[in-house]
Amino acid sequence: MEGNPIHFGIIGCAEISRKVSRAMSLAPSATLSAIGSRSIDKAKRFAVENGLPEAVNVYGSYEEVLDDPTVEAVYVPLPTSMHVQWAVAVAERKKHVLLEKPTALNVADLDRILEACESNGVQFMDGTMWVHHPRTHKMKELLSDPNRFGELRSVHSDFAYCGDAQFLENDIRVKPDLDGLGALGDTGWYCIRSILWANDYELPKTVTALQGTYFNKAGVILSCGASMVWEDGKVATFHCGLRINLVMDVTVHGSNGTLHLNDFVIPFKETSAPFTFGTKNGWAELSLGWRPLPSEHVVETDLPQEAYMVEEFVRLVKSIKDSGSKPDSKWPTISRKTQLVIDAVKASIDKGCEPINVVS
Amino acid sequence: MEGNPIHFGIIGCAEISRKVSRAMSLAPSATLSAIGSRSIDKAKRFAVENGLPEAVNVYGSYEEVLDDPTVEAVYVPLPTSMHVQWAVAVAERKKHVLLEKPTALNVADLDRILEACESNGVQFMDGTMWVHHPRTHKMKELLSDPNRFGELRSVHSDFAYCGDAQFLENDIRVKPDLDGLGALGDTGWYCIRSILWANDYELPKTVTALQGTYFNKAGVILSCGASMVWEDGKVATFHCGLRINLVMDVTVHGSNGTLHLNDFVIPFKETSAPFTFGTKNGWAELSLGWRPLPSEHVVETDLPQEAYMVEEFVRLVKSIKDSGSKPDSKWPTISRKTQLVIDAVKASIDKGCEPINVVS
């Protein structure tokens, strides 16, 4: 991309901030200009440990990052319960918002953020990385092929990892006052996004939680699942959890084709990402095997997916900056749909697995 | 195995009879001695086309196969609605019963078959092949490892293939008077078996059909799914269908390990069968990839899985024949549990996806 890079600030020195600050240094059109923590010592340590350039301003508060005149856009990786306050504060300072997922505790909260971004003319995007991976675009091409894939029939998605006993009681992801959505917000978010992605972001008609939601002592979800049905009969299911060995599966089923991948959230390797695609698969004579076999694909990349995410955000920010255009609505709309489905799953869990109509 | 081979009869010249008659010729302890169809011409054509030896008796009725004194055991691949009549007839002639799946339209019908086998002292086994594949035993070893796999948390299974428009209205699998269970009996059977297998055949406490069951014009299920919950909180889901590109997935999730396979019902290739097993998978530094990666396994075999099935059945038959022991209860019990879950899914579909308690 031409011209000067977009200057970012980061508020909060979470583990994910390390990854995203690295992405900002790798992305050709971005640069990190400020980092802030509520503790100046923590911010300084972050700067040293991550080898940030001298030019990066280091602050002992979030406000100072927002007020730094060099900062044009802010990455917000704070706990979910703090998103409304801080994302709105960023927007009100006319700075663009890159917000970590889950975007909010519910869609009403997200709407407050989106309204603040819109009324201040700043770009909003959430921090879901995998949708920006070149593999994702390649897979979408195949899913859009009426011959090789045919009609979409169903999607299954599964994202879980295994926290230890300490994590499952004390991590912020399982604290009701910090990340009240627990596994649903932390891992289910990705599953729901993958299902919407496969459906070209068409919302399901109904969402029904699966029996068997598992809670910790504080009542936060540690594992759950849901099924969904679309107006035309398509279906989907997902499972998510924090007490299961690491798994990141998406399977997309069409009338003619099948897509499998087992590392959709974070590819097995940083610069090459595999998937399997089968088309018009059947049986050999006497069904003694498959014919044809599904084929393996690998997408090689120059950058990690989080750098592609930063580049996409920068592209939209530059468009506003350079041409004075309005913020692009694609990613905010997708964030909102993901949050709507999160809300429906939560509502269904709360109502004993009753089907919930999704109303946008 | 030592001694004379067990002599089989087959009633019905379905496509699957070709595969199983070949298995009987490959299995060292079995031999085919009679084949019967309601049409003598069809039976003769079957014998010629499949290169059956001259010694095989060819009949124009099922009764003649059952009455053939050389026949010790009968393989019954008839449409499900005919299972009670013919499996009971086989048992009453004191011949062992190898019955194609689904075993019956419901567990009450299966019980009539099992009672006939028990009271006549003959072995019963259903024709689910994949459970006899050496790969299945190898995978079970890994799932039983408390360190590498840990505690079982959930299972997801998916078996579907794509029939054409003609098939979906006219094949016996979708005729209410022949195979009234449709996709649930034809493909869901395997999914349910895989879920029970992973659970060491412990029955779930409740079974709930997923919203979105798809029926053909005659009201037969063309695709459906269900979720299950166990007493201790384990969960499972499956999808099955006849209008989706070929897929045969099982994923078994433990606290420490994950098993994936994508060809569980019929391996991609006849003599080598793959699976993937991950243990204690986590992220590399900055979550820039996985560490360790899941590992690929391949199990090579001398025989196709259907020959291992025949060998297992023969082993049990020989035990009765040689030592006068009672029929073994392992496989009949497993058939019955599979059928119980089929019944529960059907009941839940009929009741608008209400959870059904499974009572054995």
Residue A161 CB contacts under 8 Å (≥ 6 apart), including other chains: A187, A241, A242, A244, A245, A246, A247, B282
pLDDT, tens only, B73-129? 999 999 999 999 999 999 999 999 999 999 999 999 999 999 999 999 999 999 999
A210 to chain B, closest Cα gap in Å: 7
* Residue numbers of the domain that contains B263: 135-302+339-357
Nearest CB among B153, B210, B256 relative to A237 is that of B210
> Does one domain contain both A64 and A119?
yes
Residue B320 CB contacts under 8 Å (≥ 6 apart), including other chains: B96, B121, B122, B123, B326, B327
> Does one domain contain both B161 and B295?
yes
A150 to chain B, closest Cα gap in Å: 9
Tell me which chain B residues have a C-beta less than 8 angstroms from the C-beta of A151.
Answer: none
What is the CATH number for A56? 3.40.50.720
Residue A98 has pLDDT above 80, yes or no: yes
| Yes or no, beta carbons of A156 and B158 under 8 Å apart | yes
pLDDT, tens only, A154-197? 999 999 999 988 888 888 888 888 888 999 999 999 999 999 99
Tell me which chain B residues have a C-beta less than 8 angstroms from the C-beta of A160.
Answer: 253
pLDDT, tens only, A260-294? 999 999 999 999 999 999 999 999 888 899 999 99
Classify residue B1: in a domain, yes or no.
Answer: no
Of the candidates A83, A82, A104, the one whose C-alpha atom is nearest the C-alpha of residue A346 is A104
To probe the interface with B, which of A253, A265, A266, A275 has the most B CB atoms within 10 Å? A253
Of the candidates A170, A178, A249, A182, the one whose C-alpha atom is nearest the C-alpha of residue A214 is A182
> Does one domain contain both B78 and B211?
no
Nearest CB among B22, B156, B278 relative to A239 is that of B156
Enter the DSSP assignment of B203: P
CA separation (Å) from B192 to A210, A276, B306, B334, B345? 17, 25, 19, 11, 10
Q: What is the pLDDT of residue B30?
A: 98
Give the residue on A whose Cα is nearest the Cα of B258. Answer: A245
Classify residue A113: in a domain, yes or no.
Answer: yes
Enter the DSSP assignment of A69: T
Q: What is the pLDDT of residue B138?
A: 98
B327 to chain A, closest Cα gap in Å: 30
> Does one domain contain both A28 and A151?
no
Beta pairing partners, A300: A272
To probe the interface with B, which of A244, A301, A309 has the most B CB atoms within 10 Å? A244
> Does one domain contain both B160 and B279?
yes
Q: What is the pLDDT of residue A102?
A: 97
Instruction: Report the alpha-carbon distance of residue B184 to residue B186 in Å, rounded.
Output: 6
| Yes or no, beta carbons of B154 and A239 under 8 Å apart | yes
Instruction: Report the alpha-carbon distance of residue A225 to residue A218 in Å, rounded.
Output: 19
> Does one domain contain both B311 and B289?
no
Classify residue B42: in a domain, yes or no.
Answer: yes
Classify residue B343: in a domain, yes or no.
Answer: yes
pLDDT, tens only, A74-83? 999 999 999 9
Please state the pTM of the whole predicted model: 0.97
Nearest CB among A214, A253, A266 relative to B283 is that of A266
Instruction: Report the alpha-carbon distance of residue A90 to residue A68 in Å, rounded.
Output: 11
Tell me which chain A residues have a C-beta less than 8 angstroms from the C-beta of B355.
Answer: 211, 353
> Does one domain contain both B112 and B47?
yes
Enter the DSSP assignment of A29: T
| Three-state secondary structure of B3-35 | CCCEEEEEECCCHHHHHHHHHHHHCCCEEEEEE
Nearest CB among B208, B243, B268 relative to A153 is that of B243
Give the residue on B whose Cα is nearest the Cα of A352. Answer: B355
pLDDT, tens only, A125-161? 999 999 999 999 999 999 999 999 999 999 999 999 9
Counting the structural domains of chain A, the total is 2
Tell me which chain A residues have a C-beta less than 8 angstroms from the C-beta of B282.
Answer: 161, 246
Instruction: Report the alpha-carbon distance of residue B350 to residue A41 in Å, rounded.
Output: 63
Instruction: Report the alpha-carbon distance of residue B172 to residue B77 in Å, rounded.
Output: 12
Classify residue B23: in a domain, yes or no.
Answer: yes
What is the CATH number for B213? 3.30.360.10
DSSP strand E in chain A: where? 6-11, 30-36, 57-59, 73-76, 96-99, 124-126, 152-162, 206-209, 214-215, 221-229, 235-241, 243-254, 257-261, 272-279, 282-283, 290-291, 295-300, 356-357
Q: How many interchain CB pairs under 8 A, A with B?
A: 194
Give the residue on A whose Cα is nearest the Cα of B162. Answer: A255
Mean pLDDT for all residues in chain B: 96
Classify residue A279: in a domain, yes or no.
Answer: yes
Classify residue A1: in a domain, yes or no.
Answer: no
> Does one domain contain both B103 and B13?
yes
Average of pLDDT values for B348-357?
97
Residue A355 CB contacts under 8 Å (≥ 6 apart), including other chains: A206, A207, A208, A348, B211, B353
Q: What is the pLDDT of residue B124?
A: 98
Q: What is the pLDDT of residue B131?
A: 98
> Does one domain contain both A314 and A239?
no
> Does one domain contain both B146 and B208?
yes
> Does one domain contain both A99 and A209?
no
Residue A2 CB contacts under 8 Å (≥ 6 apart), including other chains: none
B264 to chain A, closest Cα gap in Å: 11
| Yes or no, beta carbons of A208 and B211 under 8 Å apart | yes
Q: What is the pLDDT of residue B1?
A: 52
| Yes or no, beta carbons of B239 and A279 under 8 Å apart | no
Q: What are the φ and ψ backbone dihedral angles of A290, each rounded to 5 degrees?
A: -100, 150
Residue B30 CB contacts under 8 Å (≥ 6 apart), including other chains: B5, B6, B8, B23, B24, B310, B311, B314
Query: Residue B257 corresponds to which amino acid?
Result: G
pLDDT, tens only, B157-180? 999 999 988 888 888 888 888 888
- Specify the range with the lowest mean pLDDT, choosing from A35-44, B171-180, B300-309: B171-180
Q: What is the pLDDT of residue A166?
A: 87
Residue B3 has pLDDT above 80, yes or no: no
> Does one domain contain both B284 and B343?
yes
Classify residue A98: in a domain, yes or no.
Answer: yes
